């Protein structure tokens, strides 16, 4: 099975930017779509951004225009560029295959201070 490792989180002031990276290794031949998820304590993990195998992008409404998901298939990497960050963006961010969840990675903590 594939392994997922997220990185790039941190503490940032509101209005700032962060770029998250997701490294995919292992059995990756069948992976087509990838997505970023956010989890906040006490709430369900929610999908924030998705990129399909054909390159179609989709975003949660409250991040549209601020977040950009991209991938480098040759390097088995998926990225999430986050701009104009808000305190409500705070959470642990995970990448995964939205069509069939793989084993979750450790996530990347993003904290946006007001």
- Can you tell me the mean pLDDT for 77-106? 96
CB atoms within 10 A of CB 90: 17
In tens, the pLDDT along 6-65 reads 999 999 999 999 999 999 988 776 778 999 999 999 999 999 999 998 889 999 999 999
Hey, what's the torsion of the CAs at 93, 99, 102, 106, to 10 degrees? 0
CB 67 within 8 A of CB 48: yes
């Amino acid at each position: 099975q594939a392994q997922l490792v997220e990185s790039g989180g941190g503490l940032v002031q509101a209005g700032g930017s962060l770029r998250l990276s997701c490294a995919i290794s292992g059995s990756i031949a069948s992976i087509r779509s990838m997505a970023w998820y956010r989890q906040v304590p006490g709430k369900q993990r929610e999908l924030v951004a998705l990129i399909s195998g054909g390159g179609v992008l989709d975003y949660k409404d409250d991040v549209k225009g601020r977040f950009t998901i991209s991938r480098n298939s040759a390097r088995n990497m998926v990225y999430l560029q986050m701009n104009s960050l808000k305190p409500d963006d705070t959470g642990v961010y995970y990448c995964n295959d939205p069509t069939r969840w793989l084993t979750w990675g450790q996530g990347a903590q993003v904290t946006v201070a007001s």
